A and B are shown apart, each in its own frame.
Chain A
């Protein structure tokens, strides 16, 4: 369930964590569904022969699929229109069969122009604990 503002900014403090969100194992169908939804039809994400010709074992997940899963987890936790900034850096490639766990933690609470703000650090790890992406975010209400 997603609402515009879910979190009580007045109670938020540095160190608070978002409840972890874990996906089911991701398969090629998830990659193809994301390809269709986003329009990103890079064959690296659906064509095993293409991926192998480029030195990979098999197709890999879209980085933006991973980033999108985490972004939505943050939106369900904080409230969608509280997400002011969301930035990610990709560190590893998602393989078919991977289960991803999305996390976020408050690093700082402050006010900007009289409006409450919280900065986040966030991450996605696979079932082995390897980091797939790291990111930062800022949450807070619009004026």
Chain B
């Protein structure tokens, strides 16, 4: 097993805490150019038919940057396994088992589940890291999962 793979799979990550906050939802919806009233207040969300203020489809990515040391992607950087500035986001997936609303608090379990490499198209290597996150609600049940693939570009040494 390559060094980076062993180090990435053995990263010890503490479970994160991810509170779903109203100001963050508003800010996130605005950044995504979505002015739907549902993302402005509980009152407007209810008028639009929601149980409470919901979150945008990709909102759970905010968890990645919420607290240092809790997410696999950031821990890869902080630990020096992957090099800052050379990373690209390759893929991202979300699975919703139920809707998510403002005021909820999630425990987030993160794990780097795989690391592998491919030859780059212009020489050098591309190293892929796969991080999975599980969002566990206050009832102890999983509400959503996400999966991210980040790619580190490792240019070929110059001859």
Contacts and interface: CB of A to CB of B under 8 A. Distances in A.
A89 B90 contact: yes
B92 A38 contact: no
Given A1-B48, A50-B85, A68-B31, A90 B64 contact: no
A84 interface: yes
B49 A69 contact: no
A36 interface: yes
Contacts of A64: 58, 61, 89, 92
Contact of B48 (A3, A67, A85): A3
Interface stretch (B8-16, B94-102, B107-115, B130-138): B94-102
Contact of A37 (B30, B94, B99): B30
B36 A2 contact: yes
A89 B91 contact: yes
A85 B37 contact: no
Interface in B30-88: 30-34, 36-39, 48-50, 54, 56-58, 61-62, 64-66, 85-88
Nearest to A72: B34
B75 to A, nearest CB: 15
A86 B65 contact: no
Interface residues of A, number: 44
Contacts of A87: 91-94, 147
Majority SS at the chain B contact face? mixed
Contacts of A88: 91-93
Contact of A2 (B31, B34, B66, B99): B34
Given A76-B36, A90-B89, A142-B98, A68 B58 contact: yes
Contacts of B98: 142
B54 A81 contact: yes
B57 A75 contact: yes
B28 A37 contact: yes
A118 interface: no
Given A30-B31, A68-B28, A83-B57, 5 more contacts: A36-B31, A39-B65, A63-B92, A64-B92, A86-B93
